[in-house]
Amino acid sequence: MPIVGVDTVVTLDGALYGKPAEAGEARATLSRLSGQVHEVVSGIAVVEGAAVRTVSATTRVAFRDLDAATLDWYLATEEWRERAGGYAIQGRGAALVAGIEGDYLNVVGLPVTALLELLPGILHADA
């Protein structure tokens, strides 16, 4: 049985943004992403016995210009917790996004297309 590991990070101008530890860090991250196009990068590793295979996926995300009221609203939802880059595109964080280029599911946190590159037989495996 394969073991799958996935992690995601947000990057802008060479800086990496993981999961903010507290609201002030989330505000700083979201303020930095405001009005910018950043990349969401996920890495996947599959281990089967002694074999290890890896792949990555990258999606470009354009953020709207975020004013203080929008930042206050989003931070109050606490949806930023445990989210790379401090936002969840599949939730209220969609209101922060102007558009994306690439795999939406990568931004959510599991790039299924990339996973299927590593485990193409998973679609036909018996449950």
Give the model confidence (pLDDT) of 30-49 as tens digits: 999 999 999 999 999 999 99
Nearest to 60 by CA among 40, 77, 33, 89: 40
Residues 110 and 59: beta-carbon distance below 8 Å: no
Token pair of 114, please? 């990339």
| Domain boundaries defined on the chain | 3-124
Q: Known catalytic residue: 7? A: yes
Torsion of CA 39, 5, 25, 10, to 10 degrees: 0
Give the model confidence (pLDDT) of 66-111 as tens digits: 999 999 999 999 999 999 999 999 999 999 999 999 999 999 989 9
Catalytic residue among 7, 67, 103, 126: 7
- Domain 3-124 fold: Maf protein (3.90.950)
The residues with which 8 forms a beta bridge, in sequence order, are: 42
